[in-house]
Every structure is written in C-alpha cells, then in structure tokens.
Amino acid sequence: MTDFWRTRKSVLTTLLLLFPALACFFGLFLYPMLLTVVLSFRPEGQEVGWTLANYTQFLTDPDGRWVILLTFILALGSTALSVLLSVPLSLLLRAKLSGHRWYRLFVLVPLVIPGLIGALGLLLFWGPRGWFNLFLLRFVPFVSRPVPVNYTMHGLILCYVWLYFPYTCVTTLSALESLDPGIEEAGAVSGADSWQVLRHVVLPLIMPGILAGSVLTFMAAFGAFSVPLIAGGNYRPLPVEVYKQISIPIPAHWSAASAIAIIMGVLQVVFLALYMRLARRTHGTS
C-alpha cells in the first residue's frame, strides 16, 4: 500500500515538473494554432459561420500560387547554396589551417546577429553604391552600370544564404569532427587517394549530418519573415503575405491572414515529412 502511494506521489511530482513546459506548449503554441485554424474558416470579420472562401480565394488566385512557388524557390535555392558553401568550408575548418578559430567564429556570427541587421548590411553592400558594384565597375571589363542585386530574387537568396547557412555548416562540422580518423586511414591504407577517400568514405558518412543541417536551413528560410520584409521589394514570400493581410487593409483581414498562415504551416510540415522520408530511403539508416 505504501508502495502504491509512493509511486502515485512520484508520478505527481513528475507531472508537476512538466507542468510549466506543457502550459507553455498549450498556451503559447497549440491553443493559438487552433485559434488560427478556427479563424481561417470564419467569414471575414465575423464571429460565427463557416466558410472555405479564404482558402479558395488564395489558392485560385494566380498571385497566391506564385507566392507559394516563390517561397519554395527561395527556400530550396538557399538550402542548396548553403550546402554547397558548407561542405567545402567545414572540410577546410576541420583541416585546422592557420587562423581557423577566427573562421569558426565567423560561422556563428549570422546566428547571433538579428536578421534585420544582416539584411541591412547586405543591402548596403550589394547596392548600387556598395563595395560590390564599385569593385565590378572598377576592375571588371564590360560592366558600365551597377549590377542590380537588391530587391531581386537572387539577391534575396543571397541574403538567406548569409543568414541561414550556419545551421548547415555547424551540423556538418560537428558530424565531420565526430568522425573516427581511423576510418579514413583505413581507406588510405587500402590504396585510395585523398580524393577517393573524400568521395567514397567521408561524404557518405557525414551525409546524415549534412541532411539534418539542410533541414534546419530549409525551415529557417521557409519561415523567414524579417529579411524579405525589408529586402524583398516586390518579392513577397508567404510570411510577408500573411503580415500584409493584417497590416495594410483597414480593418485587418484576420481570416485571410490565418488561412495563408495555415496553408504555410501545412506546406512546411508536408514538405519536411517528404524530405525526411526521401533522405532516410536514399541513405539507409540516419
């Protein structure tokens, strides 16, 4: 009998310890989510009634479909570029060339800097009076006018890469550094040159790390809000579209905004599930 009460008490303590976390989860995530879902099915500006109009309106509008496509192009483009930047960079950082501590610090900079500051700096750097264009005008022949980068799609992708590549890079680097050096030595002893070791031994082994990092970069780029808000110009991905619905019209279009937000959340979850499934299938255990 005392044993029963003891386990009962222990369960109660565990629940009590978990209570703040669960309260935070339900109060600040699940309930607001449900509220957004309910709101997205209400007719605009009304408290009662159910309708699908908010969804059909956005999804049948060519602009709406372009916004969804744009969000995917931006997120996938920046993820691909981040992987292309991160893999050579983490291989170099692992080699511990002189000054590698500084470069490691540079990798972390975009993580702790507010996204707006990064975007502001990049706007100044790529702008018509920035150093990038000054360099092109001065040293590259056949460039007689500033190359437009700001407020274009490739400029926006570059901003995303600057801000979100550390997710891929840090994960790849930690996968590389936890690799057993004996495996590479075994490859070299078996007669593979350093390129073959990299291609057939190291890369397959760190693939799970690269994939995990690219998922994080993708999620950050898909949900990016502050950067496209100031650096996007006419290119408005989904989060900016949501904010536009509640900031520009008076009274605010809360139902339309909620519908777009829900479409966005569903797209992200579905895409992530597919991506992880694909990654798991192509790379066995990960």
What is the Cα gyration radius of the chain? Answer: 24
d(CA 257, CA 239) in angstroms, rounded, equals 9
Closer residue to another protein, CB minimum distance, 5 or 195: 195
CB of 29 to another protein, least distance (A): 5
Any residues with CB less than 8 A from the CB of 272 and at least 6 apart, and which?
215, 218, 219
Query: DSSP letters along 22-43, please?
Result: HHHHIIIIIHHHHHHHHHHTSP
**What is the spatial distance between Cα 153 and Cα 73, in angstroms, rounded to a whole number?**
9
Closest CA to 167 of 204, 210, 104, 208: 210
Structure-token pair, residue 279: 């990654």
CB atoms closer than 10 angstroms to residue 212: 18
- Alpha-carbon distance 224 to 230, whole Å? 11
State how far the Cα of 266 lies from the Cα of 272, in Å rounded to an integer.
10
Contact (Cβ atoms closer than 8 angstroms) between residue 229 and residue 212: no
| Total residue length of the chain | 286
Which residues make Cβ contacts (< 8 Å) with residue 142, sequence separation at least 6?
Answer: none
Task: Tokens 């979100």: give the residue.
Answer: 164
Shortest Å, Cβ 13 to another protein: 8
CB of 127 to another protein, least distance (A): 9
